[in-house]
Amino acid sequence: MRRQRNVKIVATLGPASSTYETIKALHEAGADVFRLNMSHGSHDEIAERHKIIRQIEDELSSPIAILADLQGPKLRVGTFANEAEDLVEGAKFRLDLDEAPGDINRVCLPHKEIFAALKPGANLLVNDGKIRLQVEDCGDDYANCVVTTGGTISNRKGVNVPDVVLPLAALSAKDKKDLEFVCELGVDWLALSFVQRPADVLEAREMVRGRASVLSKIEKPAAVQDFDAILDVSDGIMVARGDLGVELPVQNVPPIQKRLIRRCRRDAKPVIVATQMLESMIESPMPTRAEVSDVATAIYEGSDAIMLSAESAAGEYPIEAVTTMNNVAIEVENDPTYREVIEASRHVKGESVADAIVAAAREIAETTEISAICCFSQSGTTALKVARERPRVPIVAMTSRRGTARRLALTWGTTTVITEEFNRFKSSVLASVGAVKRMGLATEKDQVVVTAGVPFNIPGTTNIVRVAPCDERLIYASEPE
């Protein structure tokens, strides 16, 4: 299924989108990737949604990526004797390990790791930052704080600690069970929540054992500070603006988003922009103008994908939300300014023969009459490098590996075609031509650019770029074996 846009759409599944009919409608409306949120839903429910996606994939012969999003370590206060208390600015409030119900003066914070890392002056944010506490003095089992922003604190509200790197395990016990479950189930991408350091990603990769690509969610200040090192060990990135906007001043998030997108593109790794993109469509069939502008900004910046969370998982208008995203993307990408912005931000440091090959393919496509760039890619790396170039013509990734085809559904501008394995270059050219003609991208009068590697079927050997006619008779007559 070829879209009329390059940016990809990720839709989260949930109670509002768990049936075969709705999931199929979401895919047909524009969803390229489905997100399974491991914070919600039982393993049986997750398995059923996975089964439905694969059924739709088979019926439509359209590779679909499935992204499983791990919950990550959740930090929460305990309970209150009165269920809730109103904290006023300037009041004193204590956090400790005492499991007794809380009151107006104190509450349990059952995370000794936090106390081990706190220092006077550190800030704690409760209930998505609605309440702010500043530590005055602390020890191994307590923190005496002053309320700097008041509000109502109630049972089990979440806590963010933006000022310190917490000595927490990268994966909770629940995360480890969920990771093994979804890897055995057969997901394509695994998203790691609350990444703080490269070691968090490496720990997950060791458990994944190559069964899925690993995507790091950037939602902690520590992850922003150590982003280059985290990117090096990740297969992809999600700019998770929800918690990032809680732990950092909200005005810091837009420039961080822009910077991270550019770094991901430089390294040819897919990046998703997520959280509150069409938030009002949870309850309204129409988005706000500001939300539409937010979606458009992520597209202009060159993001590989944009994501719906509660809008498609629990909202009243999941299909309308995907349709809106699809329509915004088409409109933006047809704007001449979009192409100017995308090309002005192209900055690639060539480091290999493959880098030179894909750069040449893009230049050929833009200076001659070329209908598409077809790249043979076993691991997906060559297709990612072609997508980094952001060419003006469609990218068709040819691969014999179904897993590679699915993972590339997250990559900008890439349509994947599953082929047989080839041992001869002529066969690969014929397969490319046949694919673009079946997709309606070319006729016999057109030409395509083909990139491949010899010897075939060995990842990392891209070393050929060829302009090929779409008339098979000319290929048989002129193309070498």
Catalytic site residue 414? no
194 vs 30: CA distance, rounded Å:
28
288 vs 278: CA distance, rounded Å:
8
For 76, 161, 243, 268, the CA distances from 112, given in Å and listed in that order, are 12, 13, 22, 40
Catalytic site residue 445? no
Task: Given the residues 24, 54, 76, 402, select the one marked as catalytic.
Answer: 76
Q: Determine contact, residues 124/143, Cβ cutoff 8 Å.
A: yes
Task: Given the residues 132, 217, 269, 362, select the one marked as catalytic.
Answer: 217
Going by C-alpha positions, the residue among 145, 119, 141 that lies closest to residue 132 is 145
For 79, 217, 294, 438, 469, the CA distances from 225, given in Å and listed in that order, are 34, 14, 24, 47, 49
Going by C-alpha positions, the residue among 421, 315, 413, 314 that lies closest to residue 365 is 413
Task: Given the residues 241, 265, 275, 415, select the one marked as catalytic.
Answer: 275
Q: Determine contact, residues 194/72, Cβ cutoff 8 Å.
A: yes
268 vs 68: CA distance, rounded Å:
22
Backbone angles phi, psi at 306, to 5 degrees: -125, 145
Catalytic site residue 416? no
Which token pair is 108? Answer: 């349990």
Which one-letter amino acid corresponds to residue 284?
A: S
For 161, 228, 247, the CA distances from 6, given in Å and listed in that order, are 37, 26, 32
Q: Determine contact, residues 11/23, Cβ cutoff 8 Å.
A: no
Q: What share of the chain is helix, strand, coil (3-state, %, to 5)?
A: 40, 25, 35
**151, burial (CB in 10 Å: exposed 0-12, middle 13-18, buried 19+):** middle
Q: Determine contact, residues 268/384, Cβ cutoff 8 Å.
A: yes
Backbone angles phi, psi at 63, to 5 degrees: -55, 130
Which one-letter amino acid corresponds to residue 175?
A: D
For 230, 349, 405, 439, the CA distances from 379, given in Å and listed in that order, are 21, 21, 9, 23
Going by C-alpha positions, the residue among 2, 1, 76, 68 that lies closest to residue 41 is 68
Catalytic site residue 217? yes
What is the number of other CB atoms lying within 10 angstroms of the CB of residue 128? 13
Q: Please list the active-site residues.
A: 35, 76, 217, 275
